[in-house]
Structure 1
Amino acid sequence: MRNFAMPRTFLDHIAVTALSLEAGNAFVTECLGVVPQAGGEHPRMGTHNSLLRLGDTTYLEVIAPNPAAPPPTRPRWFALDCLTPQSPPCLSAWVVRTPDIHATAAAASENLGVVESMSRGTLNWLITIPADGSIPLASGAPALIEWQAANHPAANLEDKGLSLAALEIIHPDPDRLTRLVSSLQLEAPVSVVPTASAATTRLIAHINTPQGMRVLSAPHAIP
C-alpha cells in the first residue's frame, strides 16, 4: 500500500459577514482604520464583497447578500441567510488554501461540505460549501479553497500596510476543532482557545495596521 503525503495548507482569507456591504465596510473601517476596496459579485450565491490585502497570499473579505442580484436557488454560503436586521457585522469565517482540495477534504476529520465551482469576474476557484450554507463545527471550521489561477488574487489588491499577525478561534469544543486543524496540515498563525462556558464560537483576528496592532472580531467581543 502506497503512502501519499498530504499537501500542506495555508490560511487564505478571513471573512466578515454583514447584512449589507455598507455596514460591513463601516465596521472594518472602524476596527482597522482602513477602508476596504471594491471587490465584485458572486452570481451563484447572490452575494458581493469588498477586500483588504493582508499579505501576498492572504486577504480580508467583507461579504454580504447582494440586493441587486437574483436570489440564489440554494442557501448562501457563510450562513448569510441566517442574518437578521439585528445581526451586526462580524468576523465569522476563515478559509484555508490547498493545492488539492479533494485530497484535503477527504483527509479532514470533519465534513466541510461539497466541493463547488465558483467565480467572481475573471477569477475561478473550487471551495467547500455545506448544502445548508452553514459553517461546520459550530461555526468554527474553515472552508477549503483551491484557486484556479497562476497568481493569488491578494497580489492584485492595494497594499495598505496591513498584515495578519494571528487568528484565534474561541470554541466550545476545542479538542475537536484542534483535531480538524491538525488533519488539514495547516501552516498558519491559528490557535484554538476554549471558551469559559458553553458559549458560541468567536473568531478574533490580530492585524498589524499603519496605526499599530488592531483587533477584528465581533462588536463588543473581548479578546
Structure 2
Amino acid sequence: MLTLDHIAISTEALETGAIDLEDKLGVPLSKGGQHAAMGTWNRLLSLGPGEYLELIAIEPGAPAPPQQRWFDLDNFAGVTRSTTWICRCDDLDAALAAAPEGAGVAWDLARADLRWRMAIPQNGLLPFSGLFPALIEWTAPAHPADRLEDRGVRLTGLRLVSPQAEALAAALAPLVRDDRIEVLHGETPRMEAILSTPNGEIRL
C-alpha cells in the first residue's frame, strides 16, 4: 500500500510564490533546498507527522535535466497551485509494477542527508493528466517532515477532478486508502488540496 507523503504546490517563481502562499496560509514556510538533478528548488511546511507541503519551482540558471522535469514543471504557468501529490512506499519497483503505464522510471536522488528513489516520467507528466500520485521511496532514515516546525497546518482533503474519474478511482483503489482523497468527475483535470490553517480553511 501507498501512504501520502507530501503535496507539491507549483509556482513560477519561488520567492514571490512563497510570499503569496505564506500570506494565504498565515504561517511562514521553511527553507528547503535545490534539486540539482531536476534544476528545481523548494520551500517546505509541515502538515503534521509524516506529511509536508512542498512549494516548488524551476531554479533560475540551474542546468536543465536531460528530460522533462518532474511534476510537469516545464509546462507549468499561471497562479501558484496544487499540481501533484506524492505517495511513499517501501519498495518503489513493486509500486511501479502495480501502477499504470507512464508512472515513471526510478531515479536515485539525494540532498544533504536526504536519500530517496523517485519515479519520474520521461515526459514529466504522470498518468491521468498528472492526477496519479508520484511514487517515492525514502532510502535513509532522514525525512523532511521530521525536521519541520509544526505550525498547525493540516491537509484535510484532496480532490482529484478528472474526465477519467472512474478509471482513476479504479487505479487508486488497490494502492491507496485515505479517507481524505476524493475523485470527482470534471471536464478539466485539476487537483485541489484543502488545508486547515490559522487563516481557516484554505483551498489550493
Distance verdict in 2 for CA 1:188–1:110, change over 3 Å: farther
Relative to 1, partners in 2 of residues 1:107 and 1:139: Cα closer, same or farther, differing over 3 Å?
Answer: same
| TM value normalised by structure 1 | 0.85
Runs of 4+ in 1 over 3 A off after TM superposition: 185-188
What letter corresponds to residue 27 of structure 2 in structure 1? V
Bigger mean CA deviation after superposition, 22-31 or 138-147: 22-31
Structure 2 CA distance for aligned equivalents of residues 66 and 21 of structure 1: 8
Structure 2 CA distance, aligned partners of 1:82 and 1:109?
22
Partner of residue 142 from structure 1, selected from 108, 129, 133:
133
Alpha-carbon distance, 1:133 to partner: 1.2
Letter in structure 2 aligned against 1:135: L
RMSD: 1.6
2:11: which partner in 1? 18
Provide the residue aligned with 1:189 in structure 2. 180
Match of 1:4? none
The CA distance in 2 between the partners of 1:73 and 1:172, in whole Å, is 31
The equivalent position to 1:70 in structure 2, one of 55, 63, 67, is 63
Please give the alpha-carbon distance, in whole angstroms, between the structure 1 residues aligned to 2:101 and 2:155. 26
- The one-letter code of the counterpart of 1:69 is A
Equivalent position amino acid for 2:202 in 1: R
Q: Distance in 2 between matches of 1:24 and 1:183?
A: 35
Identity among equivalent pairs (%): 39
Rounded to whole Å, the distance in 2 between the matches of 1:135 and 1:115 is 13
Deviations 1:142-182 (A, max 9, x none): 10011112243201011111111111111111011101211
The corresponding residue for 1:125 is 116
Which range moves more in the overlay, 106-115 or 174-183? 106-115
Task: Give the match for residue 5 of structure 1.
Answer: none
- Say which SS state the counterpart of residue 26 (structure 1) adopts: helix
- In the TM superposition, residue 184 of structure 1 has moved relative to its aligned partner by 1.6
Which of residues 21, 29, 41 is equivalent to 2:22?
Answer: 29
* CA spacing shift, 1:9–1:187, aligned 2, 3 Å: farther
Q: Secondary structure at the match of 2:37?
A: coil
Could you tell me which of 162, 177, 181 is aligned with 2:168? Answer: 177
Q: Are 2:93 and 1:105 equivalent residues in the alignment?
A: no
For structure 2, list consecutive stretches of 5 or more residues without a partner in the other structure.
Answer: none
Deviation, 1:208, is 1.4
Q: 2:44: which partner in 1?
A: 51
Answer with 1 or 2: which has the greater Rg.
Answer: 1
Report SS of the residue matched to 1:186. coil
Taking the aligned partners of 2:23 and 2:111, their CA distance within structure 1 comes to 27
Q: CA deviation at 1:20?
A: 1.1
Report the Cα distance in structure 1 between the residues aligned to 2:170 and 2:159, rounded to whole angstroms.
15
Q: Which runs of 5+ in 1 are unaligned?
A: 1-7, 217-223
How many pairs were matched up? 204
SS of the aligned residue for 1:30 comes to helix
> Structure 2 residue aligned with 1:212, among 193, 200, 203?
200
